Each structure stands twice: as structure tokens, then as C-alpha cells.
Amino acid sequence: MKKEAPEIDNFETQEHEWAVDMSEEAVKARQAQLPGEFKAKLNMGDDEDEDGEAGGSTVYDEFGTWIQDEASSKGSIDKVDSIDIFVKAKELGIETKHRAVLVLVQTIFDENIVAQIPKRAGMMKQFITSDRHEKALLGGTERLIGQLGKDHPDIYNQIVKILQLYYNHDLLSEEVAIKWGSKASKKYTDLSTSKKVRKAAEPFIKWLEEASEEESSEDEE
């Protein structure tokens, strides 16, 4: 049985305040409000691998640019509706792609990420459906932290809380988190930033490892 990560620095997740209806009915209702040409695009699939030519980086660029433009027009990324973001991803045919998760993390979160994760968790669950998606979540977070750290160096102090929230909202499994924490990588950011992020994450990774060992011991009894 999965154990809840301990509350750190008395940070409490008020999930009920951020409830978002991401049901199929809600998404269909929002789709019905779109112009006809957009509704037609929503049913277009992409059977090609997302690293192939069918999707191309321009699709993800378009997704990211759309989110940023919406945030600018509404005055804040927090005012962009989660269902609208998901519907846009479906319109572009990338709602199942791990690259979409990379784009999301870097566009819907900013220096207020700790407060933003609970609000977006319901939507993020629609995108994160495999270990590969979870790795993209962590990779995108590394890249985001690296960028934010230039102007907000204290963001590294938030990493344990960020990972705790991912875990408690079922966006991140302990297996993926532990493996990620074991070795720095330059896949998503420079090696120095990757090492710094993992160093800051050590208390959470250690807690996961101890919880996993404890669970294994209980199973053996």
C-alpha cells in the first residue's frame, strides 16, 4: 500500500480547493463549444512515434506558445482553464505524448509551482499514463528549476515539496523517482543543474527508499 509522503515544513495540500472536473463528459462539453474546424481536428490521431516526422517539434512549440499566449491574454497562467489546455492538446493530437508533459511543466508552472501543482493535478493525470511520462515530468521539472533558479535561487529549496506533491497526487511513482534520483543526467538540462536538483531532492528520495525497504520487510514477515 502506498504511503503518504510526510508533510514538510507544515505545507498542506488543500486538494478540495482545486478540484477540476476532467471527466470525459466535461471535456466533450468544452469541445462542443469550439468552432467546427477545431472539433474536426480533435478526432485526428497520430499513429507515428512522437519522435518521428508526423508530430514534429512544431506541434509542441504550437502547444507551448498557445498556453503562453492564453496566460498573457488572461493576465496569469493560473487563470488558464485546465480543461481548455487538455482540449488544445487533443486538438493537436498530442494528449498521449510524453513530450506534451515536458511542454506542460515548463508552461503551466512558475516560481509558484508548489501552490500550482494541486490545481493542475487532475489535468496532469490525463497526460501522465506511463513511466515514460513520469520521466518527462521529472525532466521538465529539472529544466524548469534550472531556468527559475537563475532569478529565484531559493527555488531549489522547494524541490522536496514539489516531488512530495507529485507523489501524493499520483503523478509520480516511487520506482521512477528512486531511479531518477540515483544518477544525474544531461538529457533535459546541463549536468551541473541536474546534480544540484538531485542533491536537493535527497531527503525525499531517502524517505521513499526507506519506505520501500520497510514495505519489503513487512511483506517477508
Full 3-state SS string of 8-60 = CCCCCCCHHHHCCCCCHHHHHHHHHCCCHHHHHHCCCCCCCCCCCCCCHHHHH
Please report, to the nearest 10 degrees, the dihedral formed by the alpha carbons of residues 197, 200, 201, 207 taken in order: 170
pLDDT one-digit tens code per residue, 63-93: 999 999 999 999 999 999 999 999 999 999 9
Specify the amino acid at residue 57.
S
- Which helix (H) or strand (E) segment is 140 a member of? helix 131-151
The number of beta carbons lying within 10 Å of the beta carbon of residue 13 is 20
pTM of structure: 0.76
Q: Tell me if 40 sits within 8 A of 88, measured CB to CB.
A: no
Q: What is the pLDDT at residue 113? A: 98
Helix-helix angle 159-168:174-181, to 10 degrees: 150
Grade residue 35 by pLDDT with cuts at 50, 70 and 90.
Answer: very low
Phi-psi region of 170 (alpha: psi -120 to 50; beta: other; left: phi over 0): left
Grade residue 152 by pLDDT with cuts at 50, 70 and 90.
Answer: very high
Q: Which CATH architecture has domain 58-214?
A: Alpha Horseshoe (1.25)
Task: Map 81-100 to HEC letters.
Answer: CHHHHHHHHHHHCCCCCHHH
Q: What is the pLDDT at residue 212? A: 75
pLDDT one-digit tens code per residue, 182-218: 999 999 999 999 999 999 999 999 999 998 777 665 5
Q: Tell me if 144 sits within 8 A of 105, measured CB to CB.
A: yes
